[in-house]
Amino acid sequence: MDKLMLIDGNSIIYRAFFAMPPLTNSSGLHTNAVYGFTTMLLRLLEEHKPTHVMVAFDAGKITFRHEGYQEYKGGRQKTPPELSEQFPLLKELLTGLGIAQFELEGYEADDIIGTLTRMADEESRKVLVITGDKDMLQLASEQVQVGLTRKGVTEIELYDPAHIQEKYGLTPLQIIDLKGLMGDASDNIPGIPGVGEKTALKLLHQFGSVEDVLDNTGELKGKMKEKIETHAEDARMSKKLATIYREVPLDKTWESIAWSGLKEETAGPALAKLEFKSLLERLSFSAGGGSGAVPAAAEAEINVVIIKAEMLAELEELMPKVEALHVETYGENPHRASVIGMALTVGDTQYYVPFELLQEKAASPLKDWLGNHEAVKRGYDLHRVDLALHWHGIAFQGAAFDVQLAGYLLDPTDSNQTLTALAAKYQLPSIQPDEEIFGKGAKYKLPAEDVLAAHLARKAQVIAALIPAQEEELERNEMQKLFHELEMPLSRILADMEKQGIKVNTDDLKALGQEFEQQISKLVLEIYSIAGTEFNINSTKQLGEILFDKLGLPVIKKTKTGYSTDAEVLEKLAPYHEIVQHILQYRQLAKLQSTYVEGLLKEISAQTGKVHTYFRQTIAATGRLSSQFPNLQNIPIRLEEGRKIRKVFVPSEEGWSILAADYSQIELRVLAHISDDARLKEAFVHDMDIHTKTASDVFGVPAEAVDSDMRRSAKAVNFGIVYGISDYGLSQNLNITRKEAAKFIDQYFEVFQGVRKYMDDIVQEAKRDGYVTTLLERRRYLPEINASNFNLRSFAERTAMNTPIQGTAADIIKLAMVQMDEALRTHNLRSRMLLQVHDELVFEVPEDELETMKKLVPATMEAALQLSVPLKAEVSYGSNWYEAK
DNA sequence: TCATTCACG
DNA sequence: ACGTACGTGAATGAG
């Protein structure tokens, strides 16, 4: 059956432009948007194999929509010239790819697509519409699916009427009403002021359509009613503007958009002209064009040798030639993961070794190779591989290139760093998603051995092919040092720390749990008795009913599902009713009990009596680590009750100590360095109390005159500065008005002018380049920095301010870890690095090394990277983590 | 699976 | 006019 694909050209190229890093060809022409468009297009062609394809473009500045409303699309930022110049390139390329393009003076791409989908509906043809514009959901029907881009253009979410119903509770046509009510800033469609998506949805669920809302304003009250009545005309007009016109006079036939696959002789030269080498390679086209048609996509042929016991001896000679390996594991927690098997790629041949075979004694050539740190390994998520193999008694050393880690550095916000995604990103032969091979969750099941072998072999093959492409991109981004000299070495260090683990005193932890248990049950009884009924205190829904319906306490804040009952709200309610204080206490203890007592107990290894966390190196967008199974980066410290938990973390050997060292004010020191702000630098050069100093400068009083309240405010401002300040955020934090907060910020910037300049410059830089970097060239793309949506843009701006600071601090402690690992070796020390908590390192140290370590650790941390202000690290130690304070 | 809450830096 | 402070992970309830 025919499958039609209709693409909203303007919408997609715009998205691609902002989602892709700048890219120019040798003649300086920008090509990033065309590249993004093309990769997406090729993927769609491969996935959906359409028989007809068409790309629609807007034509003419004035459309029929302007006739009734002059301001339509007014106030919109002019298309950047870097993008405008790419339209002709895209059109030429589409011609080369054999794809039809429509545009018609006075109409937008939406209208052309709307018309074609109407025709398709009438003729019962299946259509897929591709766009970045949510309004197009109004076209969805039994025949018509709408694919909306997500996260730039890398993901597409398919919508049919059922999915729209599920997500918004609306029919496709009600999408028009939605926009009529809420408007659309990017098209300058007004809607009703003060009505956003939430309110609009509520109104539509209640009434059904814009007209029904306007006819029934009597059922509304207050400000809402007033606003809707005043702006009734705006709503009617907005709805009209948002309605896609589906009667464009098109004299085209379906034949004119038929697509018969890529032809090398036209597609090759078109791609070559734009210098899209990776695409050419992936399609195995030559730049000059060649013979015959090539299918749009193909799963590569694979040549796998399944290794049997009798072949093991022959492998010894093969091992040095291995270009890439893939070890498949199963299980979220790598310390408890099983190992399925291993694939090796050597030239055009792949080898598959079932794990049972690898465990045999006869497999020692293989195991020796795996454990030999001089034999380089290139693979995917080698950190996990190392851990999984370790717990099965197999040593893994010599990781030289990890494509997952490289993928993370090249785009740390891309949460999908699977090989399937990486292969697609680099236009390599596609890898079937693991889910399709193994099934997911409880349905996980190993496929037949030949299927498994082929899947793993394909992975190994793709890893080998990814490496040169990633290496090149790393070089282009000046991230080679970051990757090879920091992140790769760190990956091994983390694995060592995790294998080592940290000892937990189980008895003490259980005893602590009993104490908590007693207090909790007492509180529960009191709460029931005050409430006059038993209910589940953990249920926010039931708690809300008790507090607000039964006891009639004032509603401070709502969530989208009901009443908010978070700590902030409860603090405000405390004066009204004695139950609230009890609930706060209950919450605190219940958290400690479930997460830290019970949660930790579950994670203690029966084998070692320790907890072995898993530090993830490819998650945080800023370059920080994260910690799982258990998370040891959020063990309580702020409140004494919780802090007691730290007493159960003890040295693993008799007579040893826990030693902890943390950076003092590392983020503000980093800010002083990168902003080059004279006053901030001065504060650190003289090692002053930074919050007091800030208060004294901002309030213009001598340091002695700074009282605790002034210092507290200054501290909040300093936090705000690091997070990318906003008056709203600061006002929330300090419980003051937005105006007062704005005044604070103003005063701060008056004094710290270098900081102000940094904040302005970094946002400009992000807008220009589409990304920000840390001191070590770690990079984070901010596709939304030029968004027309205020919230998205503001968020991106704050991120632009925060990421270089938080990210550079992460760079520094990572450097310190690599240097510390080296120092422990060169000094022949038995002390072990156990944990990293963002600005803190935790060690276990034998008695006779305490004096050495007390100096060595802070000295190494302070010397990790030379800044224009000194770094400071403070060290402490004791018989457990609590005492090391 | 999503939303809410809360622990950390 | 808009309505959030930056970055994480775990436990719980509800659908």
Residues A705-727 have pLDDT tens digits of 999 999 999 999 999 999 998 89
The residue that minimises its CA distance to C1' of B2 is A561
pLDDT at A392: 97
Q: Which of residues 567-606 of A touch strand C (CB under 7 A)?
A: 594-595, 598-599, 602
CA of A629 to C1' of B2 (A): 21
Tokens encoding A411: 């785009």
Round the average pLDDT of chain A to a whole number and report it: 90
Confidence band of A462 (pLDDT split at 50, 70, 90): very high
Mean pLDDT of A215-219: 81
| Structural domains in chain A (count) | 5
Q: Detail the protein residues whose CB sits closer than 7 A to any atom belonging to strand B.
A: A 441, 540, 559-562, 564-570, 584, 587-588, 591-592, 595, 633-639, 642-643, 806, 837-840
| pLDDT above 90 coverage of chain A, percent | 64
- Lowest mean pLDDT, pick from A171-180, A189-198, A428-437: A189-198
Whether the upstream peptide bond of residue A269 has omega within 30° of 0, thus cis, is no
Tokens encoding A584: 């706060």
Pair A277, A338 in one domain: no
Pair A33, A182 in one domain: yes
Over 50: is that where the pLDDT of A289 sits? Answer: no
CA A731 to chain centroid, in Å, comes to: 28
Boundary residue ending a domain (A750, A772, A797): A750
Per the model's pLDDT, the better-predicted residue between A556 and A263 turns out to be: A556
Q: Which nucleotide is nearest to A566 (CA to C1')?
A: B5
Mean pLDDT of A424-433: 89
CA of A112 to C1' of C2 (A): 32
Over 60: is that where the pLDDT of A689 sits? Answer: yes
CA of A434 to C1' of B7 (A): 33
Structural domain range at position A419? 303-500
Residue A189 lies in a domain: yes
Mean pLDDT of A67-82: 64
pLDDT at A186: 66
Please tell me the distance from the alpha carbon of residue A19 to that of residue A786, in angstroms, as a whole number: 10
Please tell me the distance from the alpha carbon of residue A30 to that of residue A23, in angstroms, as a whole number: 6
Q: Confirm whether any atom of chain C, the nucleic acid strand, is less than 7 Å from CB of A535.
A: no
- Lowest mean pLDDT, pick from A439-443, A471-475, A654-658, A753-757: A439-443
Q: Which nucleotide is nearest to A634 (CA to C1')?
A: B8
Residue A124 lies in a domain: yes
Phi–psi pair at A654, nearest 5 degrees: -55, 130
Residue A780 lies in a domain: no
Over 50: is that where the pLDDT of A295 sits? Answer: no
The residue that minimises its CA distance to C1' of C6 is A723
Over 60: is that where the pLDDT of A288 sits? Answer: no
Pair A591, A555 in one domain: yes
Question: Strand C: which bases are under 7 Å from protein Cβ?
Answer: 1-15
pLDDT at A70: 66
Residues A484-537 have pLDDT tens digits of 999 999 999 999 999 999 999 999 999 999 999 999 999 999 999 999 999 999
Residue A823 lies in a domain: no
Over 70: is that where the pLDDT of A156 sits? Answer: yes
Boundary residue ending a domain (A448, A478, A500): A500
Per the model's pLDDT, the better-predicted residue between A619 and A222 turns out to be: A619
The helix/strand/coil state of A194 is coil
Residues A194-204 have pLDDT tens digits of 777 777 888 88
Residues A10-52 have pLDDT tens digits of 888 888 887 777 777 766 667 888 888 888 888 888 888 888 9
Q: Which of residues 789-818 of A touch strand C (CB under 7 A)?
A: 790-791, 794-795, 798-799, 802-803, 806
Across-strand partners of A650?
A: A503
Across-strand partners of A659?
A: A843, A877
pLDDT at A693: 96
Interior/surface letters A84-100, b for 16+ CB within 10 angstroms, e for the rest? eebbebbbebbebbbbb
pLDDT at A290: 40
Q: Which nucleotide is nearest to A789 (CA to C1')?
A: C2
Pair A176, A113 in one domain: yes
Boundary residue ending a domain (A602, A621, A649): A602
Q: Are A15 and A132 in contact (CB under 8 A)?
A: yes
pLDDT at A217: 80
Pair A407, A508 in one domain: no
Taking the model in full, what pTM does it have?
A: 0.72
Residues A789-812 have pLDDT tens digits of 888 899 999 999 999 999 999 999
CA of A790 to C1' of C12 (A): 34
Residue A871 lies in a domain: no
Pair A248, A327 in one domain: no
Confidence band of A631 (pLDDT split at 50, 70, 90): very high
Pair A473, A507 in one domain: no
- State the CATH number of the domain containing residue A530: 1.20.1060.10
Residue A681 lies in a domain: no
Q: Which nucleotide is nearest to A730 (CA to C1')?
A: C5
CA separation, residue A316 to residues A320, A348, A350, A385, A756 (Å): 8, 18, 15, 21, 62
CA separation, residue A524 to residues A8, A201, A536, A587 (Å): 58, 39, 10, 10
Strands A100-102, A52-56: pairing is: parallel
Q: Confirm whether any atom of chain C, the nucleic acid strand, is less than 7 Å from CB of A879.
A: no
Mean pLDDT of A603-609: 96
Q: Confirm whether any atom of chain C, the nucleic acid strand, is less than 7 Å from CB of A468.
A: no
